[in-house]
Structure 1
């Protein structure tokens, strides 16, 4: 028999969903039968599978250790090593800076360094995340950046953080700004509205009548022939949206081999898109995540984007 105390990240979850997270190999029919026969109880009382767990509840499961091992399945060990660069940290959220060339999260197969694993390593070592205690929640990211896109990325330390940030993004209340260099002169601010579909096999997006609505506001900051430094207010967050939309109006992102002209060839030796997530503007927040209320988080462009724009400005 084992007992599990319901912590903050688990409250509000249905009992059957909680059980499936801690015993992923167990069938629902077996779990339901165990609940009916009082082999699984909450606070020593019989409940139904629809019971909503509360913080402090004690879930008792009267299974043998052999059965637990069978239903828990194999747990993957996290690789240890790097910490992310942290810009701001609260009880529920981490705002980090991702370098270009690093994945946002694991891609399966061979292990590669990624921001999610870096974040989990940091939280384990700090003591904010203890996998053997947290049975149903694993820290994760709320916004994803392509491998070669750098800048601000939001990590959720808790289920509350994940839920609330995702809600803000879904409702369009969290403003996300990027900076990039595009080919040619973008003469005025443009709001681009597209319907975008995706070819999963080629990992490429295209115009499609039944695709997802995609909206971005593109504002020229400075023009140095033949390139423009551009600020992007990303209203939606579709795959490759900025790269596709700028290319669709004849101003592909410098270095972009997928949507650029001549497969992104340029005199600056850049072989990937120069794109940086540089600013997050949070709305007024009350209650959970109030520490982020009306916060403006900025990460100035670094690395190749900074280098290339300096060279362009000097006429090199």
Structure 2
């Protein structure tokens, strides 16, 4: 077995030997890395942060083969998780009951801690307001049901207990949670409405980015409807049928209409008098079933001032 780390660091890469052949991927990692909890390992696998022979593996039950190379990306030891400190920060709560809350996240806030960024996240703020969210098992994402990119604002669900979290995640997997976004995109979209159906996976040239690919990818479907056309831009309402990382941004780039202000998938050029320090993408509406009562929950968050002010100057768009 190869060890590519010094004694002061945690090993994150292995080559499978004879006695390890046939072992499930998740069980192998649990045995090798005591710093990671079982749930953390499963989350890493689901997130595409485990590479086998330099290709993403999202199957926890994958049976390891002789000489397979296994590597962990974005490794976060449980000691770091336990040291995530509560930080009192303002939260815009849109709905709350004993089971969950829905908040309107501001742009610029990271949802949960990650390597190199353990402070000033939504999780830090949640732990300060709801200390009961911290469970006995280390978890970087207490209560988190789904995520929003750092520079995407809008509605986000947070569960207050494990039962509710599991039920809402199941709704998410079954595509029963309707999520709609507003985005201002570059160029004028000709169609009134349409769907983008293209699989998304890690960009092999930049593992921190996503791209449309048939290799190690997952199905991704985004529906869009034109809300308003301007001279050089289009305001669109988008509904996700799937919830892949960076899905909206990657899909809109693919059809030639990237999100205005997107530093990763856009042109990163603000023209026509637009003054914006973030991407124009906002989680606008949520619709789902209450996991306890079965009642339909419908919520809406208006555009934040910095985005609305762009639309108010439509003569420049």
Choose from 192, 196, 213 the match for 2:196. Answer: 192
Instruction: State the alpha-carbon separation in 2 of the partners of residues 273 and 73 from structure 1.
Output: 34
2:260 is the alignment partner of 1:254: yes
Give the superposition deviation at 1:85: 1.4
2:122 is the alignment partner of 1:108: no
Q: Describe the superposition over 1:49-103 as per-residue Cα deviations: whole angstroms up to 9, x where unpaired.
A: xxxxxxxxxxxxxxxxxxxxxxx97942523321421111121211111100110
Instruction: State the alpha-carbon separation in 2 of the partners of residues 244 and 130 from structure 1.
Output: 33
Choose from 261, 265, 276 the match for 1:270. Answer: 276
Choose from 209, 221, 230 the match for 2:227. Answer: 221
Instruction: State the alpha-carbon separation in 2 of the partners of residues 110 and 103 from structure 1.
Output: 9
Contact 1:83–1:119 at 8 Å: present in 2 too? Answer: no
Q: What's the counterpart of residue 82 of structure 1?
A: 89
Q: Which runs of 5+ in 1 are unaligned?
A: 1-19, 29-71
Q: What's the counterpart of residue 250 of structure 2?
A: 244
Q: What's the counterpart of residue 161 of structure 1?
A: 164
Give the superposition deviation at 1:242: 0.8
Instruction: State the alpha-carbon separation in 2 of the partners of residues 95 and 146 from structure 1.
Output: 16
1:41-56 matched pairs, under 5 angstroms:
none
SS at match of 1:297: strand
Cα 1:207/1:137, change in 2 over 3 Å: closer
Contact 1:196–1:213 at 8 Å: present in 2 too? Answer: yes
Bigger radius of gyration among the two: 1
Instruction: State the alpha-carbon separation in 1 of the partners of residues 162 and 136 from structure 2.
Output: 12
Cα 1:116/1:130, change in 2 over 3 Å: closer
TM-score, normalised relative to structure 1: 0.68
Cα 1:130/1:249, change in 2 over 3 Å: closer
Q: What's the counterpart of residue 184 of structure 2?
A: 181
Q: Describe the superposition over 1:205-229 as per-residue Cα deviations: whole angstroms up to 9, x where unpaired.
A: 2221132110010100011211111
2:136 is the alignment partner of 1:135: yes
Give the superposition deviation at 1:268: 1.3
Q: What's the counterpart of residue 207 of structure 1?
A: 212
SS at match of 1:304: helix
Give the superposition deviation at 1:270: 2.5
Q: Which runs of 5+ in 2 are unaligned?
A: 1-29, 39-77
Give the superposition deviation at 1:204: 1.6
Contact 2:143–2:162 at 8 Å: present in 1 too? Answer: no
Contact 1:185–1:226 at 8 Å: present in 2 too? Answer: yes
SS at match of 2:219: strand
TM-score, normalised relative to structure 2: 0.68
SS at match of 1:281: strand
2:287 is the alignment partner of 1:290: no
SS at match of 2:87: coil
Deviates more, 1:114-123 or 1:142-151: 114-123
Q: What's the counterpart of residue 304 of structure 2?
A: 302
Give the superposition deviation at 1:271: 4.4
Contact 1:143–1:154 at 8 Å: present in 2 too? Answer: yes
Coordinate RMSD, CA, aligned: 2.8
Cα 1:182/1:110, change in 2 over 3 Å: closer
Give the superposition deviation at 1:181: 0.2
Instruction: State the alpha-carbon separation in 1 of the partners of residues 250 and 100 from structure 2.
Output: 30
Give the superposition deviation at 1:109: 3.1
